[in-house]
């Protein structure tokens, strides 16, 4: 995983609530056995007409979306299925951060493992960011993960929370499995000493 320290990019806005992972990447594209190539079908049903031509009015088909690394959205982003294909498709398109009111639990976990930073903001901040995006749509935002800040062009800086462990993994580009495997001895001990009656 590539380390993330700062992200500077314009943010593009899809300000809907409850965007589920079936919209992010519909199930018919989950028949793959690798992670590559999913970006072409990111938001497929909102992005393309039945004949496969792009819908010009949809966000991802607009010039501003090209090269954007920050997606701004509403409440409960990534709810629904556990498919990690959702963050794979989002990062494949170029996103490194999603700013939302809240996230689906599994989506958040999956994102953190794929270099996609989920930034949760409160209602007032969310409204302010939304208004700013309406005012100056092309302005660049800067996310500083180490400082846990999101800076907007009006000079304001928003603090966001992220747990220390996830932050370290993202900043250093570490993979969590290495950490987990380093506890192999404790796991062995656990296996011997536990298991009240769990037999299969």
Residues in touch with other proteins (CB under 8 A): 15-18, 20, 22-23, 26-28, 30-35, 45, 50, 74-76, 79-84, 102-106, 109-110, 113-114, 163-165, 176-177, 179-181, 183-184, 186-187, 190-191, 194-200
Burial (Cβ within 10 Å: 0-12, 13-18, ≥19) of residue 162: middle
CB of 140 to other proteins, least distance (A): 25
Residue whose CB is less far from other proteins, 159 or 188: 188
Residue whose CB is less far from other proteins, 20 or 144: 20
Q: What are phi and psi of 159, to 5 degrees?
A: -85, 140
Residue whose CB is less far from other proteins, 26 or 94: 26
CB of 15 to other proteins, least distance (A): 7
Residue whose CB is less far from other proteins, 106 or 151: 106
Q: Return all residues near 126 (Cβ < 8 A) that are at least 6 apart.
A: 74, 101
CB of 18 to other proteins, least distance (A): 5
Residue whose CB is less far from other proteins, 80 or 94: 80
The torsion angle over the Cα atoms of residues 15, 23, 30 and 49, rounded to 10 degrees, is: -110
CB of 46 to other proteins, least distance (A): 8
Residue whose CB is less far from other proteins, 30 or 65: 30
d(CA 93, CA 87): 10
d(CA 69, CA 73): 13
CB of 8 to other proteins, least distance (A): 27
CB of 142 to other proteins, least distance (A): 26
Specify the 3-state DSSP secondary structure of 107. Answer: helix
Q: Which residues pair with 99 in a beta bridge?
A: 72, 119
d(CA 199, CA 127): 52
Residues 95/69, Cβ–Cβ less than 8 Å: yes
């Amino acid at each position: 995983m590539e380390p993330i320290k700062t992200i500077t990019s314009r943010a593009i806005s899809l300000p809907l609530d409850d965007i589920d992972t079936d919209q992010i990447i519909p199930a018919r594209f989950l028949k793959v056995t690798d992670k590559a190539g999913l970006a072409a079908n990111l938001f497929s049903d909102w992005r393309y007409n039945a004949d496969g031509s792009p819908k010009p009015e949809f966000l991802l088909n607009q010039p501003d979306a090209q090269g954007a690394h920050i997606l701004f959205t509403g409440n409960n982003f990534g709810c629904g299925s556990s498919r990690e294909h959702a963050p794979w498709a989002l990062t494949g398109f170029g996103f490194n951060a999603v700013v939302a009111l809240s996230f689906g639990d599994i989506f958040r976990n999956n994102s953190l493992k794929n270099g996609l930073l989920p930034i949760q903001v409160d209602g007032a901040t969310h409204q302010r960011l939304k208004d700013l995006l309406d005012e100056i749509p092309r302005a660049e935002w800067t996310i500083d993960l180490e400082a846990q800040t999101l800076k907007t062009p009006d000079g304001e800086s928003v603090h966001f929370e992220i747990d220390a462990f996830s932050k370290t993994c993202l900043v250093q580009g570490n993979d969590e499995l290495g950490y987990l495997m380093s506890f192999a001895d404790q796991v062995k001990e656990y296996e011997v000493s536990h298991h009240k009656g769990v037999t299969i």
